[in-house]
Chains A and B, each alone.
With several copies, the nearest count.
Chain A
Amino acid sequence: MATDTANTGAKPLKPSERMAVRASQELKDRQVVFVGIGLPNLACNLARATHAPQLFMIYESGTIGTLPARLPVSIGDPTLVTDSLAIVSQADIFQGYLQGGLIEVGFLGGAQVDKYGNINTTVIGDYDNPKIRLPGSGGACEIATHSQQVLIMMRMSPKSFVAKCDFVTSPGSRMDSTKASPQLGRTRTEMKLPGGGPTKAITDLGVLEMIDGEFTLTEIYEGVTVEQVKQNCGWELKVASSLKTIPNPSTETLDILRNKIDPENLYL
């Protein structure tokens, strides 16, 4: 990939680093974020260490106002508990915080995403006889339903950015057509979904933005071409007329990410 050759300092800039840095820039100080393990966690903690020191982090396991002292290795890592402002039950996390409308930004990823931001984390292939059995929804369905906005973080490939999800686990901007109903499905507004749905997909090649209910390429990293992005997308990707180039992260930011946030290179 083009990004493998981009250099900042001594070490080459990795796609995961670009994603973490770009996603962190989406977060505003004092926002309430529902943080997932992996890249979303890196993005959120990078934001805290840079421009958003008061970012308010909630983890699915029930930690409120979390201050992890080390990189959490699972959603239930004890470092999320110690020094948090509050610990609540799973019932409160889903019923009170998510359904109750308190989450401003949610993060999601998955095996497949379509142009509407519908995400599949359930099965590849037929549901009853899947080629691959994936973990399932976890809290993804309710994060997609109830967060004020959702940021998707996924690497692009024709297998992951697909024309049609094999299964929709988490709702995007609208339902896709089906064999039974060849027309496009209902929109979030028509389905009365409370949350705003996916606003951006932060990928390893660039940023797709939800414009009029469809993902459109609006930003690419330095050194990435539109053609590359299109080749890694399973549908005919719309491209914004004013395409922005995402500058490489500063040495300082990269230093924080590499040496403070994920020094053992667990997720980068």
Chain B
Amino acid sequence: MNHFRKPKLTPNKLVSMKEAIADAVKPGCNLYLEGFTHLISFAAGHEIIRQQIKDLTAIRLTPDLVYDQLIEAGLVKKLVFSWAGNPGVGSLHALRRVSQKDSAKKIEMEEYSHFGMVARLLAGSSGLPFWPLKNYEGTHIAEVNPKIKSIDCPYTGEKFATVPALNPDVAIVHVQRADKEGNAQVWGLMGTQKEAAFAAERVIVVAEEIVDTSIIRRDPNRTLIPGILVDHVVHEPWGCHPSYAQGYYDRDNQFYVDWEDISRDPASYKNYLDAFVFGVKDRHEYIQKMGTDLMSRLKAKPRKCEGVDYGY
């Protein structure tokens, strides 16, 4: 077993989203587009749709609107997940259209619980082929997923579930700030960003702000992802809308509510994709198209914390 990963130490990894996606996301690859409500890179998802990268195995604990859009665009061969919905609102309608009895065409589904998905990433980010967890007894989850196995504790004899390591081909992680080597700092909800970056073969860091490395080095405990894991850095302000970035802009809850109606009908879904994905060439145009009121409505009110002292 040799699981070495080549550390990535190029001094400037800044590219456009177009370039990053074209280079790192290949047809048929295992894609982990991270975000747990917070810091979901819709910008990356839309660029994947524009580039029509097909046959994806789309992986995340919470495939949400952007995963649903990948499905509606016909790019997803298989979904690996633990909770698929429009958080706080309802269903993912593109997913429903390819996952039910009456579906004309179906995609493959591989299903865990959140803890199971997290455990898969923990294994993948730790160089282990499996991870043990106390879960799934008394449920049908392991029955319908043969990848969930079990192991006996060598001390107590007790049985534990295991899940296999997850090592995505590409992880895309949106962060508040990064330097051009990809050293990335995040605050607020952290989801599985660190584990995804450590587990993936290739990593794209998308940042609200590109900062000088000295800013990162002033507060090293804040760094979640070291640049040695990162292939590409993309500067994409407002890149998460309708998701959010703590300290930058609020979640566009109204969009999530409106989405229920937009997405239920394939025709209005198509209109949305035509206008806001295919109809714009990049994120900048998307934000312009959203109208001037977007920023005033969602821009965060400042609430800065104090720094701490690293002197000695």
Q: Which residues of A contact B (CB under 8 A)?
A: 30-32, 37-38, 54, 56, 60-65, 67, 73-91, 94-96, 98-102, 104, 118, 122, 125-133, 135-142, 145-146, 148, 167-172, 174-175, 185-186, 188, 191-194
A231 to B251 Cα, complex, angstroms: 42
The residue that B9 contacts in the complex, of A56, A83, A98, A171, with Cβ under 8 A, is A56
Whether, in the assembled complex, B105 has its beta carbon less than 8 Å from a beta carbon of chain A, the answer is no
Smallest CB-CB separation from B192: which chain A residue?
A90
Whether, in the assembled complex, B190 has its beta carbon less than 8 Å from a beta carbon of chain A, the answer is yes
Whether, in the assembled complex, B154 has its beta carbon less than 8 Å from a beta carbon of chain A, the answer is no
Contact status A87-B190, CB under 8 Å: yes
Pairs across A and B, CB under 8 Å, 11 listed: A62-B36, A81-B189, A82-B310, A83-B220, A84-B217, A85-B227, A126-B101, A145-B138, A169-B113, A171-B138, A191-B137
Q: Which one of B111, B115, B183 has the highest number of Cβ atoms from chain A below 10 Å of its Cβ?
A: B115
B195 cross-chain contacts in A, Cβ below 8 A:
89-91
Tell me which of B49-57, B80-88, B260-268 binds A.
B80-88
B251 cross-chain contacts in A, Cβ below 8 A:
73-74, 76-78
Contact status A137-B61, CB under 8 Å: no
Known interface pairs A54-B11, A86-B226, A132-B100; 5 further A-B residue pairs with C-beta atoms within 8 A, sorted by A's residue number: A90-B192, A94-B119, A98-B115, A138-B113, A169-B140
A128 cross-chain contacts in B, Cβ below 8 A:
144
The residue that B100 contacts in the complex, of A78, A130, A148, with Cβ under 8 A, is A130
Smallest CB-CB separation from A72: which chain B residue?
B88
The digit string for B176-191, where 1 denotes a CB below 8 A from any CB of A, is: 0000000100011111
Given contacts A56-B228, A137-B83, contact A169 B141 (CB under 8 A): yes
B69 cross-chain contacts in A, Cβ below 8 A:
none
Whether, in the assembled complex, B216 has its beta carbon less than 8 Å from a beta carbon of chain A, the answer is yes
A82 to B311 Cα, complex, angstroms: 7
The residue that A129 contacts in the complex, of B101, B183, B191, with Cβ under 8 A, is B101
Tell me which of B20-28, B120-128, B203-211, B282-290 binds A.
B120-128
Q: Which one of A37, A133, A175 has the highest number of Cβ atoms from chain B below 10 Å of its Cβ?
A: A133
A125 to B253 Cα, complex, angstroms: 32
A65 cross-chain contacts in B, Cβ below 8 A:
183, 226-228
A75 to B194 Cα, complex, angstroms: 20
A165 to B190 Cα, complex, angstroms: 34
A172 cross-chain contacts in B, Cβ below 8 A:
138
A56 cross-chain contacts in B, Cβ below 8 A:
7, 9, 228
Contact status B158-A142, CB under 8 Å: no
A203 to B90 Cα, complex, angstroms: 21
Contact status B141-A141, CB under 8 Å: yes
Contact status A94-B114, CB under 8 Å: yes
Contact status A60-B114, CB under 8 Å: yes
Contact status A139-B113, CB under 8 Å: yes
The residue that A188 contacts in the complex, of B4, B83, B135, B138, with Cβ under 8 A, is B138
B7 cross-chain contacts in A, Cβ below 8 A:
30-32, 56, 102, 104
Contact status A61-B36, CB under 8 Å: yes
A64 cross-chain contacts in B, Cβ below 8 A:
220, 223, 226
B134 cross-chain contacts in A, Cβ below 8 A:
99, 145-146, 194
Whether, in the assembled complex, B37 has its beta carbon less than 8 Å from a beta carbon of chain A, the answer is yes
Whether, in the assembled complex, B221 has its beta carbon less than 8 Å from a beta carbon of chain A, the answer is yes
Q: Which one of A67, A130, A141, A142 has the highest number of Cβ atoms from chain B below 10 Å of its Cβ?
A: A141
A54 to B140 Cα, complex, angstroms: 37
Chain B nearest CB from A242 CB (Å) reads 30
Contact status B127-A101, CB under 8 Å: yes
B104 cross-chain contacts in A, Cβ below 8 A:
none
A132 to B101 Cα, complex, angstroms: 8
Contact status A141-B1, CB under 8 Å: no
A63 to B36 Cα, complex, angstroms: 12
Contact status A137-B190, CB under 8 Å: no
Whether, in the assembled complex, B139 has its beta carbon less than 8 Å from a beta carbon of chain A, the answer is yes
Chain A nearest CB from B305 CB (Å) reads 10
